Chain A
Amino acid sequence: MDDTSRRTAMKLGGATLGAAAFARSIAPLTEWVPTLSSEEFLQKHYKELSREEMETVLRRVEAMTLEEYGAEVTVQDIRPMDGVQFGYALNLSTCVGCRKCAEACHNENNHDRSTNQSYIRVLEMTKGSVSLDLSSVEYDHAVPAEDKYYMPVQCHQCDNAPCVTACPIEATWKEADGIVVVDYDWCIGCRYCEAACPYHARRFNFTKPEIPAEEINPDQAYLSNRIRPVGVVEKCTFCLHRTRVGRLPACLEACPAGSRVFGNLLDPKSEIRWIIENTRVFVLKEDVGTQPRFFYFFDS
């Protein structure tokens, strides 16, 4: 992709939703016209779609998945639940670094197979050190290794999210339950958000994701695990297609060490609240002021 034209589009686009219409008409013209259907090209911002318009978009995404991937899938527009604020906590005392969470994310969220893409990166850290710079993600030996501990990192769904502020066209925003989402049909792939994230939690689709039809997870949502187009940024959504219907995230269920805890921060009886109130909890890079919804804790 040509960086210069992208950046130009960005400057012209400005930072408001109104001006976004302008960015939309510039960016696709220079980049995407050949690959876009006319409906896609004219599609409104996710939040401006009426229920009926949304239905049309969802059926179109389903039809395109069938055509391009040969898979019959259901794509839903699943909204936040009333009275729910999601939080996630991870027990660093018990995480063994097996990367089963990263694998589950890969399968659940229809990631590109060849790159082993996943929204989760597991850092192998040296005990006594908190330096992310000295960590390794490519370790390939029996775990947990002597003198090491493991820190899985994924989107922290920050309340003060630098990625959201960085987006020039409001293609990414924070939803009422705290989940930061991307409208993949609106994203123009400028990657400002990716650069703004202190946790390296965003991913860019350099190539069209390749997934065999039989491996595609058909239970999809528009804002989460539907197969993303090439050239857009994507990220962990706390599996909103599962969690907004009461289920636990895929990475949590896959964890053989039971190190992951998910729930509603507004429920005083929830596990996540117990952890915040009763264990040693910290957030990653607290000094950058992002106010994450993702907490790390140690056994008391």
Chain B
Amino acid sequence: MSSLVLLLALVACDRGYSDPSRELAPAAPAGEPQAITIRKPPAVGVWKAPLSDDPDRDPDLPESATCGTCHGPEPELEIVVEPGEPFHTNIEVEHGTLTCDHCHDKDRTLLREANGTKHDFSEVAQLCAQCHGPTAKAYENGAHGGMNGYWDLSQGPRTKNNCVDCHPAHAPDFGQVMPVHPPRDRHMGNH
């Protein structure tokens, strides 16, 4: 559908009010436009120990730690595992056929794109954008991922969810939910 047709259709459609002071609200206060904030998901880039009922849990390890605690140039904790033996056994990746190294930099404290560009965990959306270009572009323009707050930034701020708020990086399928609020109106019939 052409946008031109649409916009031409936006003709003034209203007949007048007898009291003109009730016609239109004053234009929005001309203030600085407020910010659009993209939610920073909590505890991104933080390692969480396996749950206490997990047989792989080592009671000597902290509940949570940054990646740099065990990885990177100066790890505080040196954990040696047998070559080929996995350490992060509580992590299951169900994301196409991706492996850890498609997203995690070799020194593990950062994310890394295929071309070598590294990102802090807080910039995770840029990692996703590497492989999901069209969705990322839609997101950037408000057509994917939703928003909250004000459509009119001159009157208030807006927030947006991060990709990983809706799609956990390791298993990004949005999944299923049970629907709420079934129609109960006897007059509604089948629409």
Q: Report A's interface with B, CB cutoff 8 A.
A: 47-51, 54, 77-83, 85, 89, 91, 94, 96-100, 102-103, 106, 114-118, 121-123, 132, 135-145, 153, 159, 173-176, 178, 200, 203-204, 206, 243-248, 252-253, 255-266, 270-271, 273-279, 281-283, 286, 291, 295, 297, 299-300
Contact = CB atoms under 8 A, between A and B. Distances in A.
A50 to B, nearest CB: 4
B145 interface: yes
A49 B81 CA distance: 80
Given A81-B24, A138-B183, A246 B150 contact: yes
Contacts of A81: 24-25, 27-28, 152
Contact of B134 (A99, A295, A300): A300
Nearest to B141: A274
Contacts of B191: 121, 123, 132, 135, 137, 153, 200
Contacts of B174: 94, 96, 257
Contacts of A256: 166, 177
A207 B147 CA distance: 36
A99 B179 contact: yes
Given A121-B188, A261-B143, A265-B7, A98 B152 contact: no
B146 interface: yes
B3 interface: yes
B38 to A, nearest CB: 12
A34 B3 CA distance: 51
Nearest to A47: B17
Interface string B112-136: 0000000000000000000000110
Contacts of B150: 246-248
Interface in B73-108: none
Nearest to A105: B181
B147 A47 contact: no
Interface in B139-191: 141-152, 154-156, 161, 166, 174, 176-188, 190-191
B143 A142 contact: no
A299 B26 CA distance: 36
Enumerate the 5 nearest inter-chain pairs by beta-carbon distance, A residue then B residue, closest first.
Answer: A258-B146, A271-B142, A246-B155, A246-B152, A103-B181
Contacts of A98: 177-180
A142 B176 contact: yes
Contacts of B138: 279, 299-300
A97 to B, nearest CB: 6
A273 B188 CA distance: 33
B135 A137 contact: no
Contact of A99 (B18, B161, B181, B184): B181
B15 to A, nearest CB: 7
B33 to A, nearest CB: 10
A121 B183 contact: yes
A202 to B, nearest CB: 12
Contact of B10 (A49, A178, A300): A178
Given A174-B13, A246-B154, A253-B148, A116 B183 contact: yes
A234 B102 CA distance: 53
A271 B183 contact: no
Contacts of A265: 6-7, 10
A72 B18 CA distance: 30
B14 A264 contact: no
B134 A118 contact: no
